[in-house]
Amino acid sequence: MNLIEDVISQNRAEELGFDLWEDFVIPPFYDSLDLITARKPRVIVGGRGCGKTCLIRYLCHQTQFSKRRIELSNSDLNHIGIYWKIDTNFAKQLSKRGVDDLSWNSAFIHLSVLLMSFEVLKSLESISNSSLQSFTSDDLVKFDFSILNSFDEKVPKDFFELKTFIRREINHFQAWAGNVRSPSIPYFLPKEFIIELITEIKNQNSLFKDTLYYVYIDEFENLLLEQQLLINTWIKHSEMPLIFNLAMKRNSFKDKQTIGNESIAEIHDYRPLDLESYYNSISFELFAAEILFLRISKGDKNFKIPINPDELKSTSKQILNNRKSESYKKNVLGFARQLFPCSNIEEISKEVFSDSILLGRLKVLLQKVFSSKGISNKIDEFLIYDYPQAGVIIPSLLSRNDISADIVLNEINKLRKGLDNKFTGSTEWIHNYVFGCLLLIYEPLPRYCPLYAGFDTFCAMSRSNLRHFLELCYKSIRNEYREGKLESIPIISIKSQAEAAKQASTAFLREVKSFGSEGNKLHTFVLRLGSYFSATHRRLTQSEPEQTHFSIKGSIDESVSLFILEAIKWSVLYEEKITKQKGGENKMEVEGSEYILNPIYSPYFHISYRKKRSSTFDASQINTIVLGNFDQFEKFLNDYLKKWRISPPDSIKNLFSDITD
């Protein structure tokens, strides 16, 4: 893998390390987050890949006091962030495991205090190694932490000795946790230890008199319940100089109880930040393009990028406003669309009539309708070469019971004469059905589908997931140069992009198995739901084209409800509230929810990535999809295939073979 492929393939925060100064792009909505100045805890919520970890790592000392950050002032010391993500397996070790005569909360507090204290000391080193001239490594040796030995007489007073001591205590604790029946039980430190440590820093150096330490706890949902309750307590009692913040997946804040009788409450104790809610359609496209061009510039110095990398690091209000300007958006998005071009619907429709294989597929569909409806006309009468978008939807129109061959021919005649017609007029036959009909034409063919190519398409399939977007771009570039060495970024072909979409979709679908304790069930659920939507797309009538989401009619079992929440948590599904107008002209009311299959899976199932039409399942149907055994789901799907007159595969198991092998 060469440098260009390498920098674009890095699609996770963990691959970039802790110092993100050269890699992090300030989100266009950064000024709305108030994270640097917040005095109340924040709970940052969002799906996988939306940028939670990158954001909080950016706020932490390794990035804020990076050696590569040139401009720093004493005021930057007011906010010092420390990142904390406890190892999941180690968190589970701190359960009772049959040993009831220990205070496991005290053990967890002890480990937390050690880890956070170590990061506090490391933050001072980060500052001393930064470009800030007012605090250097000479200042580190001036600290006297002798007050801390009031907690444990073994605690040294010297900065460097204290750092080594804490590191040793962490190692000792981990060794003990692996063998809790050992007689060598660590001396547990209380939370007050870190408060006292920070207080000494503030008291002994005036540069830190206004400093607040912000702890950012990532993947909060991975902690054990009793550990979460403890941190909830810290959230409730967060106060200067130590403020706790959480980052988690959606639907993960299940229990807000503390270790006492109180619960933490939104607004009173913390403020939520739903990161994905800030990604309106244009801001995600712009943000994704900026990240892409920054990555490309690091791998290809000769590539002309439409951005200034230094401005992407700036939190200046003027620069943020400039990045939101229409002229800037037009320029950046224009470059992105040029790099990852798409074929529009008219071009794809023309190709159907110019490509012998695609035209043959269209004729097969027409012949199928002629046979089923007894149409005696010649097929050539319905091959509209001069209006290809109309031509590709003819088989679907003819297959409907309420539309005869004469009606279609009459509308074709009007279209050619420039008269008002149902193809382009208010009935909007083309607008409503051309996308679904193109998918139907391409569906059985062993070739790429151009509908899945293009920068805007990649953004739509990614739906605020930056990791998915970057993977689509990476695989496209890799495909473009699979036969040779990549030395410079060119315009990426439609073929390379469309193939990348299928490759990425398959890979991300396979990944679902790793999604927590319900991963295998979620994987089966996606396969079942995707197979159902795939069947709806293969209906020749296309009466309800592009179904990619569903709503539920009636009450469902608690187990199904909990499973759907889990699917939303892992971004397998997205939930949107259904609003309908009630009464007065502007009065809107919520009418339940609809659930959208993550569009990144659409190329695998050869379905639309657009949110167009919905299916409605009753309680028994959704129960079958979620919890039913294979035979129950096979009957459910076969009933629809029979109803829609779609030939079933030799076995529905074949639908799953590519991804389960």
Over residues 391-418, the mean pLDDT reads 95
Rounded Cα gap, residues 463 and 497, in angstroms = 17
In sequence order, the β-bridge partners of residue 44 are: 247, 273
**Cis peptide leading into residue 241 (ω within 30°):** yes
Rounded Cα gap, residues 535 and 556, in angstroms = 24
pLDDT of 659 > 50? The answer is: no
Q: Which helix (H) or strand (E) holds 574?
A: strand 573-581
Place of tokens 């798409």: 342
Percent of the chain residues topping a pLDDT of 90: 74
Q: Please give the model's pTM, rounded to 2 decimal places.
A: 0.91
Rounded Cα gap, residues 527 and 630, in angstroms = 12
Rounded Cα gap, residues 211 and 209, in angstroms = 6
Over residues 123-130, the mean pLDDT reads 97
Q: In this predicted model, what pLDDT tens digit does every residue of 540-586 receive, in sequence order?
A: 998 888 999 999 999 999 999 999 999 999 999 999 988 665 555 55
Q: Which helix (H) or strand (E) holds 578?
A: strand 573-581
Over residues 600-615, the mean pLDDT reads 96
Over residues 320-330, the mean pLDDT reads 94
Helix, strand or coil for residue 592? strand
- Count Cβ atoms below 10 Å from residue 646 Cβ, excluding itself: 17
Rounded Cα gap, residues 499 and 387, in angstroms = 28
Sort strands 271-274 and 42-45 into parallel, antiparallel or unpaired: parallel
Phi, psi for residue 47 in degrees, rounded to 5: -75, 170
Locate the domains of the chain by residue range: 39-278, 281-339+450-509, 345-442, 515-660
pLDDT band at 661 (very low <50, low <70, confident <90, very high): very low
Residue scoring higher pLDDT (489 or 231): 231
pLDDT of 5 > 80? The answer is: no
Over residues 87-113, the mean pLDDT reads 74
Q: In this predicted model, what pLDDT tens digit does every residue of 341-358 receive, in sequence order?
A: 999 999 999 999 999 999
pLDDT band at 130 (very low <50, low <70, confident <90, very high): very high
pLDDT band at 588 (very low <50, low <70, confident <90, very high): low
Place of tokens 């510039």: 297
Rounded Cα gap, residues 566 and 251, in angstroms = 7
Q: In this predicted model, what pLDDT tens digit does every residue of 241-291 receive, in sequence order?
A: 999 999 999 999 988 999 888 999 999 999 999 999 998 767 899 999 999
Hey, which bits of 56-115 come out as E strands? Answer: 79-84
Phi, psi for residue 34 in degrees, rounded to 5: 45, 35
The CB-side HSE value for 302 (13 A sphere, CA atoms) comes to: 4
Rounded Cα gap, residues 353 and 341, in angstroms = 22
Residue 462 Ramachandran class (φ > 0 left, ψ -120 to 50 alpha, else beta): alpha
Rounded Cα gap, residues 53 and 24, in angstroms = 11
pLDDT of 221 > 80? The answer is: yes
pLDDT band at 651 (very low <50, low <70, confident <90, very high): very low
Q: In this predicted model, what pLDDT tens digit does every residue of 28-61 receive, in sequence order?
A: 889 888 888 888 999 999 998 899 999 999 999 9
Rounded Cα gap, residues 199 and 194, in angstroms = 8
Percent of the chain residues topping a pLDDT of 70: 91
Average pLDDT, the chain: 90
Q: In this predicted model, what pLDDT tens digit does every residue of 152-184 receive, in sequence order?
A: 999 999 999 999 999 999 999 888 887 776 667
C-alpha radius of gyration, the chain, whole number: 29
